[in-house]
Structure 1
Amino acid sequence: MTFKIAIIGAGSVGFTKKLCSDILKVPEFAGIEIALTDINAHNLEMVQQIISRIVKVNNLPARVTATTDRREALKDARYIMNVVRIGGLEAFADDIRIPLKYGVDQCVGDTICAGGLMYAQRGIMAVLEFCKDIKEVSESGALLLNYANPMAMMTWAVIDHGGVNTVGLCHGVQNGHRQIAAALRVPMDEVDVICSGINHQTWYLDIRHQGRKVSQTELLAAFERHPTFSKQEKVRIDVLKRFGFYSTESNGHLSEYLPWYRKRPEEIQNWISMDDWIHGETGGYLRYTTENRNWFETDFPVFLEEAGKPLSDYQRTDEHASHILEALETGRTYRGHFNVKNGGIIKNLPTDCIIESPGFVDRFGINMIEGVTLPDACAATCNVSVSVQRMGMKAAISGDVDLLKQAVLHDPLVGAICTPEEVWQMVDELLVAQAQWLPQYAHAIPDAIERLKTPKVKTRDWAGAARLEVRSVEELRAAGTKKKAAEGHSLGTKVMG
C-alpha cells in the first residue's frame, strides 16, 4: 500500500514517534509515505531523524518527509492526524496562571474549565484553517483523525464548520480499562468494557471478566483495597461510590470537570495525591510537559539511539490511529471508542453534541453502536459540560466575547468559585494575554485592555493549593534513577499494578 499520512503538529516528539511506530508495525503499511509538519523547524528536524531512523533500521520502503509548509505535507494525503497545541506552553501557562488569580485551581486545563475553553478559542480557528487546506489539496474524502484537545469542541467545530470527514480520538478509555483490570488483579485481555459518554467524562457502563459481569460493589471494593489506587484515585472512587459507575478520567482530570472537589483550597489536598501530576497537582500537566520538553532537548541523542531498535522488539500500543487505518485499508475489523456527532447514538444526550462511545471499523468506515442510555447522574454531569462546550465552540467560531464569558460562567468548577464579575474580568485578562493566537477576538482586545485599567474585582498572587516547581533535567535524571531502583526493589511483591 502506498497511501500518504500527514501529521500536523509532528513536533510533539514522543507522541509522533508512538503513532508512527504503531503504523509501521502493520505489515501492509511498510511502503507508505509519512509527511511530518510543524511550525517549529527545530523540533521537526529532530522528529524526522527519529522516524527516518526507524524506517532505515527496519529496512522499510516507507518514505518520511518533513516540512514547515503545511499544504505541502497535506498534498494528496489520505489520512491526516492533528496533534497540535496552539500557543504552545506559553499560552498553556496563561491558561493555568490567570485563573489562579481568581481562585480557580486546575490540574490540566485542556478540556473545559477556564483553561480548556481558552484552549478551544486558540485551537478551533487553527483547525478550520487545516480543514481548508485538506479540502483543497488532500485526497478527496480524506479522513482527519483529531487527537488535539479540547477533543469535543475541536471535533464539533470541524464537523459543523470544517467540512472534513473527521473522528476524535483519545486514549482515556484504554487507560481506564487497563487500570480496572489492574484493580481486579487480572490481565487486561480478560476484561471487556462498554464505555459511553463524552470525551473525558465517559463511563464504564458494563465491565465483564471472562464474560462475568463485574458489579459496582465488586469494583468499588477492588479500588478501595488497592494499595496504590485507593490513595491516587480518591475523586474517581468517590464518584463511583455515589454514581455507581467509574469514570475514564484520571483523578486530576475528573476533579476539575466537577464543581465539588477543587472549590475550597483547604480541601483540595484531601482529594488528590502528589506522587504524580495526573492525580491532581495544581498545573500538573503544564509542569510535566515543560519537563518533557526540556528533557528531550537535552537527551535527543538518547531518543535517537532508542529509535535504532528493531520494530520486532516494539509492542504496538492501543492508540486508536493505527488500528483504524488498518481496518479501513485491510478490512480487519477493529472495535474501539470514538468521538463523533451524537445524532441519537446516546439517547439522553443532545443530538448535536460530540459523544465518545463504542464503534466498529472496517472497509465501510466507522460504524457506531446506537441506542445507548446513560444512567441519570452520568447524563446530568455530561449535559452540563455539553452546554459549556456548545457555547465555547460557537464563541470560537464567531468571536463573540459575551458568549465566551457565558461559557466560562457556566463551567462547573468556575461557577463554584467565581462571581460573574470575576469571570468577566478573568476572561478579559485571558483574551489580552493570548491575543496573538486569537484573531477572531481582535476587535474586542482594545476594550478589554481599557476595562483592565480600572479592575472591578481584586485578584491575588496565588500558586494554587498543590503546586510543584518544574524540575531541571539533572533533577529528572536523579529522580528517574531513584524510581527505577524503587521499582526494581518492589518487583517481588508487586502484582498487576
Structure 2
Amino acid sequence: MTRIAFIGAGSITFTQTLVRDLLSFPALQGATLALMDIDDDRLAESEAMARRLVEANDLPATVEATTDRREALADADYVICAIHVGGEEPFRNEIEIPEEYGVYQAVGDTLGPGGVFRALRTIPTMVDLARDMEELCPDAPLLQHTNPMAMVCWAVAAETEIDVYGICHSVQGTAHDLASYVGVPSDEIEYWVAGINHMAWFLELEHDGRDLYPDLEAVLAKRGEAYADDVVRFETMDHFGSFITESSQHLSEYLPYFRQSEEEIDDLIDRSSYRADPEEFEYSPVCWLPTGEYLEQWSSIDPGEAFDPEAMDTQLDRSDEYAARIVHSLETGAVRRMNLNVPNTAGSRAGALISNLPADALVEVPSLVDGTGVHPCSAGDLPAQLAALNRTNVNVQALGVQAATEGDEAALRRAIKLDPLTSAVCTLEEADAMVDDLLAANGEYLPALS
C-alpha cells in the first residue's frame, strides 16, 4: 500500500487540493495519507477534510494524523511538503523593515530581503526533515512546494542524499494565460520552458505546429486589455524577447525596473485593467495591492473559521498541480512531462541541464516522469539575455544558501546587496543597515546565525 506523508498538512486549502488530486486516480485510492502539522487545530481540520473526501467517495484510503514528523515519515513512499516556518511575526518584519529603506516587495517570499531571510529560517527545518527522511524513508522523493523554492531545494540537495523535486504551478498557470491572450484552447498549446523557478522562459510556444509568438507580439502592440492585465511580463518580453513564468505582480520584485518607488508601483496598478478585491483572498490579485496589503490579507486568514467538512465539495476534480501526477506516474508507469525544479546537474551525463547557468544552480526544466523515475531534460544554452537575467537571481540564491547552511553572515549581506530590487534603491551602507535591523528583529528565528 502506497504511503504518502504530508508535512505541513495544516495548510488546509492546499492539502485539500492535493488530497483530492491523489484520490482522483483509481490507482492511488487505496493509499495511506499521513498528515502531519505542528498546529493541532489546523491538523484536525485537514484530517476531517481528508476523511470526508474518503468517506463521501467510499474509498479504501487510510487517513492518519500526527504532530510527530518522524511518525508521519516512517516508511513513507512519498513525502509532500508545504510548510511555513516562524508564523506571522518574521514575515511581517521581512516586509515592513525593507519598506523603511525603500524596498517595496510584492510578496517577499522568493527573492529580495524577504526571500533571503525566509530561506534562513526555513532551510534548517527543511534539512532536518530531509535528514529524518534519510533515516526513515531514504528512497522516498521529497515533493517540495515551500518557498523560497530554489534556495530550499538547493540546500536540501546539497546537504542530504534525498531526491528533492521543487513543484510550482507557474508554468501551467502561465500556459493558461497565454492561451487566453491568443485565443487558443489551453489544452492544445505546446511549449518548451526552461530557466529558474518563477523566472523560466517560454522558449517555444506553438499551436498545431504554428509559432504563437507573432500573436503575442500583436497583443503587445495593441496595448489592450490582455497587455494591461499582464504589464510586467509583456514589457519583459518586449525588451528581452521571451515570455516568462510567474505573474506580473510577483515578477516585478525579481527585476530592478518596476518597483523603485511607491509612485512607480501605483503607476503599474493604474496601467492595469485589473482591480483586486481586497475582500477576496486570491494569490495573484493580492500581489497587485500596495506593499503591505498582501501581508494583511495573509495574516488575517484563519481557515478554521469557515471550514465545515459536511458542507465541502466532495467531487474528485483534478487540479493542475503536479504532485499527484508525479506519484501516479512513478506508481503506474504512465509517462508525463512536467517542469520541475532540480539541481542543474541532476541526472545529466553531459554536464549542466542549462549549460549557461552555474552547475550548482537550482533550475526549472522539462522533466519526463514514468515508472523508472524522474528524468530532467537538457535545455542547452538559454539565449544570452535570458540567462543573464536568471543569473541575477541565482547569484542571490547561491549566497543565501551559503548563509543558511554555513551560518555565514558575510554571505547573507552580499546576497542582499546583489538582490536586483535592493540594489536598485539602496546604497551599500543602507543595505547593511537593513540587514542589521532584520537580524535584530528576527534573530530568534535564525538558528544558523545565532
TM band (smaller chain): over 0.9
For residues 4 and 106 of structure 1, what CA distance do their matches in structure 2 show? Answer: 39
Q: Provide closer, same or farther for how the CA distance between residues 227 and 278 of structure 1 changes in structure 2, counting only shifts above 3 A.
A: farther
For residues 401 and 210 of structure 2, what CA distance do their matches in structure 1 show? Answer: 41
2:207 maps to 209
For 1:278, the aligned partner's letter is C
Q: Does 1:353 align with 2:350?
A: no
Q: Deviations over 1:384-421 (max 9, x none)?
A: 11111000001001111111011001100001111112
| Alpha-carbon contact 1:184-1:222 (below 8 Å) kept | yes
| Alpha-carbon contact 2:116-2:416 (below 8 Å) kept | yes
Q: CA deviation at 1:36?
A: 0.7
For 1:414, the aligned partner's letter is T
| Alpha-carbon contact 1:9-1:83 (below 8 Å) kept | yes
Q: Provide closer, same or farther for how the CA distance between residues 84 and 339 of structure 1 changes in structure 2, counting only shifts above 3 A.
A: same
2:180 maps to 182
Mapping of residues 426-445 of structure 1, within 5 Å: 426-442=434-450
For 2:340, the aligned partner's letter is F
Q: CA deviation at 1:265?
A: 2.8
For residues 384 and 64 of structure 1, what CA distance do their matches in structure 2 show? Answer: 44
For 1:90, the aligned partner's letter is E
| Alpha-carbon contact 1:251-1:280 (below 8 Å) kept | no
Larger C-alpha radius of gyration, 1 or 2?
Answer: 1
1:167 maps to 165
Q: Does 1:238 align with 2:245?
A: no
1:64 maps to 63
Q: Provide closer, same or farther for how the CA distance between residues 421 and 351 of structure 1 changes in structure 2, counting only shifts above 3 A.
A: same
2:298 maps to 289
For residues 64 and 228 of structure 1, what CA distance do their matches in structure 2 show? Answer: 46
| Alpha-carbon contact 1:107-1:284 (below 8 Å) kept | no
For 2:311, the aligned partner's letter is E
| Alpha-carbon contact 1:183-1:223 (below 8 Å) kept | no
For 2:306, the aligned partner's letter is D
Mapping of residues 14-413 of structure 1, within 5 Å: 14-138=13-137, 140-215=138-213, 217-223=214-220, 225=222, 228-272=225-269, 273=272, 274-275=275-276, 276-279=285-288, 281-291=290-300, 293-294=301-302, 296-301=303-308, 304-307=310-313, 309-311=314-316, 314=317, 316-343=318-345, 344-413=352-421
Q: Percent identity?
A: 40
| Alpha-carbon contact 1:183-1:226 (below 8 Å) kept | no
For 1:206, the aligned partner's letter is E
Q: CA deviation at 1:371?
A: 4.0
| Alpha-carbon contact 1:144-1:164 (below 8 Å) kept | yes
Q: Provide closer, same or farther for how the CA distance between residues 204 and 33 of structure 1 changes in structure 2, counting only shifts above 3 A.
A: same
| Alpha-carbon contact 1:233-1:279 (below 8 Å) kept | no
| Alpha-carbon contact 1:3-1:33 (below 8 Å) kept | yes
For residues 277 and 226 of structure 1, what CA distance do their matches in structure 2 show? Answer: 23
Q: Deviations over 1:244-302 (max 9, x none)?
A: 111111111111000111113322222234532233631354234234x23x232112x
| Alpha-carbon contact 2:365-2:379 (below 8 Å) kept | no
| Alpha-carbon contact 1:5-1:34 (below 8 Å) kept | yes
For residues 393 and 179 of structure 1, what CA distance do their matches in structure 2 show? Answer: 32
Q: Provide closer, same or farther for how the CA distance between residues 283 and 374 of structure 1 changes in structure 2, counting only shifts above 3 A.
A: farther
Q: Deviations over 1:5-34 (max 9, x none)?
A: 111111111000000100011111111101
User: How many corresponding residue pairs?
Assistant: 432
SS of the aligned residue for 2:80 comes to strand
For 1:258, the aligned partner's letter is L
Q: Provide closer, same or farther for how the CA distance between residues 228 and 66 of structure 1 changes in structure 2, counting only shifts above 3 A.
A: farther
SS of the aligned residue for 2:402 comes to helix
| Alpha-carbon contact 2:336-2:368 (below 8 Å) kept | yes
| Alpha-carbon contact 2:5-2:73 (below 8 Å) kept | yes
For residues 189 and 279 of structure 1, what CA distance do their matches in structure 2 show? Answer: 28
For 2:304, the aligned partner's letter is E
Q: Provide closer, same or farther for how the CA distance between residues 284 and 330 of structure 1 changes in structure 2, counting only shifts above 3 A.
A: farther
For residues 223 and 364 of structure 2, what CA distance do their matches in structure 1 show? Answer: 28
| Alpha-carbon contact 1:49-1:304 (below 8 Å) kept | no
Q: CA deviation at 1:165?
A: 1.1
Q: CA deviation at 1:89?
A: 2.5
Per the normalisation by structure 1, the TM-score is 0.84
Q: Provide closer, same or farther for how the CA distance between residues 335 and 280 of structure 1 changes in structure 2, counting only shifts above 3 A.
A: farther
SS of the aligned residue for 2:391 comes to helix
Per the normalisation by structure 2, the TM-score is 0.93
Q: Deviations over 1:124-165 (max 9, x none)?
A: 000011011111112x31110111010100000011002211
1:477 maps to none
For 1:279, the aligned partner's letter is W
For residues 23 and 50 of structure 2, what CA distance do their matches in structure 1 show? Answer: 10
For residues 240 and 401 of structure 1, what CA distance do their matches in structure 2 show? Answer: 36
Q: Provide closer, same or farther for how the CA distance between residues 439 and 54 of structure 1 changes in structure 2, counting only shifts above 3 A.
A: same
For 1:112, the aligned partner's letter is L
